[in-house]
Structure 1
Amino acid sequence: MKPQPTAAILVIGDEILSGRTLDSNSNYLANELTNNGINLSEVRVIGDEAKKISETVNFLRGQYDYIFTSGGIGPTHDDITAEAIATAFNVPLEINSAAVDLLASHYPNGKADINSARLRMCRIPEGATLIQNPISKAPGFSIENVFVMAGVPSIFRAMTDSTIPQLVGGDPLLSISVRIEKGEGDIATKLSEIAKKHKEVSIGSYPFSQNGRYGTMIVARHKDKDVLNKLERKLQNLM
């Protein structure tokens, strides 16, 4: 079996931390990475602070195979991710001519419509590769193992869809779900015994309440279908 590479996502934006904007990008990325045999191991959320962004990116890129960032590459003063990434890699931030051409194709008058604010979206660290944005054309970029993408969910998804095929993944995780019509407290001891005997399997317990009755959904994940099938029979005995 092919080992699974690891990944982390750094969600950037004061609007996320304040609760004004809901982060849906982490969820989308997690699903796409899982389907392609890449293990999303960490999610971090930080504000619009250039020094914090640079330091966090430098830490994460040394810990995981792939790093994704979301947010902070738009046209306004608080969009500072590009310059923070340039600082992290100690390279100049420059106006990228290919990025300008892409952005110009989005406007009726081409480059004549690119004012100073829009030009900020064409600032790319030296040596980076552009990530296509089929929606508004302003590109993201990648540099080494760091992929810098927009915070707008529809654009983030489009950038993710164009990036994932370029990555090397391992064997995708398979999963099973077993619904138990008992509360977690009723099955916890036996479930712990099963988990100890199957340490190679990720087993999660998720309580639910429906029509006044409590139950537990058990989700198990592993690369091998046969392992999951055998485990499923043991979990069903908890009922």
Structure 2
Amino acid sequence: MAVSVTAALLIIGDEILTGRTKDKNIGYVAKYLTGIGIDLREVRIVPDVEAEIVAAVNALRQRYTYLFTTGGIGPTHDDITADSMAKAFGVGIGHDPRAVAMLQERYQPGELNEARMRMARIPDGADLIENPISKAPGFRIGNVFVMAGVPAIMQVMLDSIAPTLETGAKMISRLIEAEGIPEGHYAEGLAAIAAADERVSIGSYPSFSANGFRNQIVVRGKDAAAVEAAAEAVIQLLARLKGDRNPL
């Protein structure tokens, strides 16, 4: 049986919930993890409220192999992710000499003020995640990886983390064009194909363009033979429907 390694993503920040900032990390993380064989099973967004962060962290880290978080590790008063992580794990927090040394690489003497030193506050026992862009590190504590919210920085942190992660079988997918057949015509048959093999999942994705409606069906799974068989069943279903609609 294919090994399943699971993950959740926790987005932290009032600015996401108010719409002031448009999140660009969910899609990137989902695609990245899928590509290395980790199933992203859940995404949550919480405000900069300690109790909300702690509750989400403690729920998600127990449910999945890994929890990744973005946001809330900057220098301002509302950057409370590090403190919230320490509370979630029941450990202390303070200025980590390793993190201070990293910040000293970026800031000149006298520039490392109290606000910037907040970025060196790391929960006890955590490992650092390097940040080659702005030097302020993320950290790992338990199975939780705490990363920056800025997309470019989050991405390099994820690159740094990836080699340390346990991974499972990679997801295989087949895309099939429904070519003008409305969803309502193939929905019943598609449901039957999906129910026939729990090793695959099947989704139907309509879209609209200048050329009209377009329906695409995607078959996913980690067993190549099962994916291929389900995809072939979908193709045959669509062929039958086309034949019914366009008799000779």
TM range (shorter): over 0.9
Work out whether 1:189 is the aligned partner of 2:188. Answer: yes
Contact map agreement 1:150 1:156 (CA 8 A) in 2: yes
Larger radius of gyration: 2
**Cα distance in structure 1, aligned partners of 2:39 and 2:87:** 27
Contact map agreement 1:104 1:113 (CA 8 A) in 2: no
**Superposed, which structure 2 residues align to 1:78-117 within 5 Å?**
78-107=78-107, 109=108, 111-117=109-115
1:26 partner SS: helix
Contact map agreement 2:71 2:148 (CA 8 A) in 1: yes
**Cα distance in structure 2, aligned partners of 1:71 and 1:138:** 13
**Cα distance in structure 2, aligned partners of 1:210 and 1:236:** 23
What is the letter of the counterpart of residue 29 of structure 2?
A: L
**Cα-to-partner distance string for 1:51-110 (whole Å, 9 max, x where unaligned):** 111111011111111011110000000000000000111111110011011111113x2x
Work out whether 1:37 is the aligned partner of 2:19. Answer: no
What is the letter of the counterpart of residue 232 of structure 1?
A: A
The Cα shift of 1:212 comes to 5.0
Contact map agreement 1:12 1:70 (CA 8 A) in 2: yes
* 1:228 aligned partner: 227
Contact map agreement 2:128 2:138 (CA 8 A) in 1: yes
What is the letter of the counterpart of residue 55 of structure 2?
A: E
What is the letter of the counterpart of residue 206 of structure 1?
A: Y
Contact map agreement 1:16 1:22 (CA 8 A) in 2: yes
* 1:137 aligned partner: 135
- State the TM-score, normalized to the length of structure 2: 0.92
The Cα shift of 1:206 comes to 0.6
Contact map agreement 1:208 1:215 (CA 8 A) in 2: yes
Q: Structure 1 stretch 20-29 or stretch 117-126: which is displaced more?
A: 20-29
Superposed CA RMSD = 1.3
**Cα distance in structure 1, aligned partners of 2:59 and 2:191:** 34
* 2:56 aligned partner: 56
* 2:209 aligned partner: 210
**Cα distance in structure 2, aligned partners of 1:31 and 1:102:** 30
* 1:75 aligned partner: 75
The Cα shift of 1:196 comes to 1.4
**Cα-to-partner distance string for 1:22-54 (whole Å, 9 max, x where unaligned):** 111111111111111111100000100011111
Q: Structure 1 stretch 39-48 or stretch 55-64: which is displaced more?
A: 55-64
Q: Which runs of 5+ in 2 are unaligned?
A: 240-248
Contact map agreement 1:184 1:215 (CA 8 A) in 2: no
Q: Structure 1 stretch 111-120 or stretch 146-155: which is displaced more?
A: 111-120
The percentage of aligned residue pairs carrying the same residue is 49
Contact map agreement 2:200 2:230 (CA 8 A) in 1: no
**Cα-to-partner distance string for 1:106-158 (whole Å, 9 max, x where unaligned):** 13x2x432111100000000000000101000000000101111000100111
Contact map agreement 1:127 1:143 (CA 8 A) in 2: yes
**Cα distance in structure 1, aligned partners of 2:187 and 2:209:** 20
**Cα distance in structure 2, aligned partners of 1:101 and 1:53:** 28
1:151 partner SS: coil
What is the letter of the counterpart of residue 31 of structure 2?
A: N
What is the letter of the counterpart of residue 25 of structure 1?
A: N
**Cα distance in structure 1, aligned partners of 2:192 and 2:174:** 18
**Cα distance in structure 2, aligned partners of 1:183 and 1:203:** 16
